[in-house]
Amino acid sequence: MNSSKKAQTALISVFHKEGLAPIVSKLDKLGVQIYSTGGTERFIKEQGVAVTPVEDLTSYPSILGGRVKTLHPKVFGGILSRREEESDVAQLDTYEIPEIDIVIVDLYPFEKTVASGAGEQDIIEKIDIGGISLIRAAAKNFKDVLCVSCMDQYDELLSLLDESNGVTTLAERKAFAAKAFEVSSHYDSAIFNYFNSDRKISALKVSYSNGMPLRYGENPHQQGTFFGDFDSLFEKLHGKALSYNNLLDIDAAVHLMNEFREDLPTFAILKHNNACGLATRATVKEAYVDALAGDPVSAFGGILITNTAIDKETAEEIHKLFCEVVIAPEFSEDALEVLKGKKNRILLIQKPTSLPNTQIRTCLNGILEQDRDAKTDSLSDLKNVTDLKPSKSELEDLLFASKLCKHTKSNTIVLAKNKQLCASGTGQTSRVDALNQAIQKAGVFNFDLEGAVMASDAFFPFPDCVEIAQASGIKSVIQPGGSIKDQLSIDYCNENGLSMVMTGTRHFKH
């Protein structure tokens, strides 16, 4: 049996009309009979193309304010009929139902309506019923029907019509059907997530369209794809294609810098999702220079991010370093001229867009979901537990270190002084190991820890960490508390002139 089919009829019902005119013109030239209704029908008539109203086919008007237009056996019978089944063909003849060979649909913009902040009634009215039904019917019967399910396929359809004069192969129709079910499943997932915003139904529906293929995954032998709307978050100004690892580091960088949105100029340098440099200063140049001082070795090939505009002076300093990505809310023109001196360096403007409130990751044969750690420790959260209270400058450093600690792989210890990262111990199996790593690293880069502060992402089960910290010059400590042996650490601090505050909030990051 010949799987190629020449279209004789088409049903068109779309929300977006942009790009539709050349399609209806081509269908008209090919002698295809067009059925349509409502605004689409009016649009086709305006193009000077003959169109048969669906109401003439069904002998039934559009009712309920347009809610019911195409939901009729004379429409769906023509779409779902199996051309090779004699009984189907006979029933079409009995009930005077024409075969429909092409279905072109573009659904009501439900997601855009939700994103616009529209009221519930407007959102409900943007739940497409007829359109989604047409898509499913046409895609199910791909052996005989070509289903065009969104405006993104208009150009592809036009090319197909131009090249084959209305003839489609089974493989082409099946490919369009696959896209149709992607469109319909994505649409239904968006509707479910809107109705389940309170998450009372324990179900996870995640759907992203238009994946961005990456050169490879975490390693060259792994395949990788990014699913999401990168362009809504960033404007890419320059540089090579983003890699899987770039995207992970950018994600870590953005979440970290979000903690410092309202602060003085702050600069961070990240490597493998952890900050190796961070500083807050009066100028962006000073912030960058002092962030780099935190670990100029690890900064090589890193990701740079700031909360303020990058000027030429800062750009000239950055240009001395090999770095993969530079992110800022703004670049001056002369700064861009300098930074574009390296052709592969990726330059991104971060747009003021909110990030998801939940996080998901694969685990075993399923997925873990959790709320994002949106808690930022503040002055009001701090509980003084020692006789000695932190000074004003120490409190500022403690909160600075706590913000960074929250975004560093556990187990972690962060050492800071004068709103500058001195060193951190990252991803260690022991908190003592993390502290020793941080102290050793601070020494390598000539940081004087006398008067510095220490932040821990979780409680101290023993007083060993405060003992080691005090011996290295640390004067103040911030930690969640919650150990049954908290008092041992408190007692040591009291006996040795350290101040300690507890937040009551753990910030593990795995």
Output the CA–CA distances (angstroms, integers) from residue 72 to 58, 130, 171, 182, 436, in the order listed.
Answer: 7, 10, 29, 24, 74
Answer left, alpha or beta for residue 446, where phi above 0 means left and psi between -120 and 50 means alpha.
left
Please report where in the chains the tokens 């900050």 appear, as a residue.
275
142, 185 in Cβ contact below 8 A? no
Cα angle, residue 23 at apex, residues 22 and 29 outer, rounded to 5°: 90
Strands (E), 450-510: 453-456, 476-479, 499-502
Q: Is the peptide bond before 411 cis (omega within 30 degrees of 0)?
A: yes
Q: Which of 140, 186, 255, 312 is catalytic?
A: 140
Per-residue tokens: 176 = 């369009």
Joined tokens for residue 12: 């068109």
Angstrom CA distances, 201 to 134, 257, 284, 361, 383, stand at 28, 33, 47, 19, 38
Question: Could you give the CA distance from residue 273 to residue 257 in angstroms, rounded to a whole number?
Answer: 13
d(CA 317, CA 286): 10
Q: Do β-strands 346-350 and 323-328 pair in parallel, antiparallel, or remain unpaired?
A: parallel
User: Within 13 A of 97's CA, how many CA atoms are on the CB side?
Assistant: 22
Would residue 140 show up in a list of annotated catalytic residues for this protein? yes
Calculated CA dihedral for residues 417, 421, 423, 429, nearest 10 degrees: 110
* DSSP-assigned states of every residue in 198-237: T--S--------S-EE-S-SSSTTS--EE-S-HHHHEEEE
Cβ-count burial of 226 within 10 angstroms (0-12 exposed, 13-18 middle, 19+ buried)? middle
**Cβ–Cβ < 8 Å for 404, 424:** yes
Sequence length of the chain is 510
Of the candidates 186, 205, 272, 342, the residue annotated as catalytic is 272
CB 453 within 8 A of CB 398: yes
Active site residues: 140, 272
